[in-house]
Amino acid sequence: MTDQFVTEVDLPAPVGEVFRHLTDPAAMIRWMGQHAVLKPVPGGAFEVDINGVPVRGQYLEIDAPRRILVSWGVAGNAEMPPGATQVEFTLTPAGVGTRLRLVHRGLPPGQEQIHAAGWQHFLGQLNRLAW
C-alpha cells in the first residue's frame, strides 16, 4: 500500500514564471535545493540535491506551461530509490497569480508526513520569492 500527499498554494506570479521555476535549474535552486540538473523533456533528467539528499528522477510528461509530471526518488535509498514515486505539478491561473496543485504519489508507508513537511516548507519558500 502506498500513500500520497496533496496540497495547493496560490503564488503571486504568472503561470509561465512558476513553470520556469520547475524547469530551469537556476530558478529551481532559488526555492528548493542547492544544485539541479533539469532537462524538461519526457525522459529528461530531474535531479535536485536538497540539503544533502540526492533526489533523482525524470520528467515523465510536460504540458507547458500547465502541467509537469516527474518521477522522484533518492539515490542510495532502498525504500524509495530514484524514480520510485511521482510528483505532479498542475498550474492554473488564479487572479493575477497562479494556483499550484502538487500531488506526490506512491510514497512508501510512513513517508507521507515526512514529505508533507518538506513540501510545505519548500512551497513556502517558492511563495516567498521576490517575483
Q: How many domains does the chain have?
A: 1
Nearest Cα neighbor of 111 from 6, 3, 7, 32 is: 3
Residues 6+ apart with CB under 8 A from 45: 37, 38, 39, 58, 59
Residues 2-23: what's their mean pLDDT? 95
Domain that holds residue 15: 3-127
**Strand locations in the chain (E):** 3-11, 35-38, 45-50, 53-63, 67-74, 85-94, 97-107
Nearest Cα neighbor of 124 from 100, 89, 105 is: 100
Q: What are phi and psi of 59, to 5 degrees?
A: -70, 125
User: Residue 120 in 3-state DSSP?
Assistant: helix
Cα 96 to Cα 8, 10, 130: the distances in Å are 16, 10, 15
pLDDT at 1 (0 to 100): 47
Does 2 have pLDDT greater than 80?
Answer: no
pLDDT at 110 (0 to 100): 87
The CATH code of the domain that includes 39 is 3.30.530.20
> In this predicted model, what pLDDT tens digit does every residue of 55-100 receive, in sequence order?
999 999 999 999 999 999 999 999 999 999 999 999 999 999 999 9
> In this predicted model, what pLDDT tens digit does every residue of 14-50 receive, in sequence order?
999 999 999 999 999 999 999 999 999 999 999 999 9
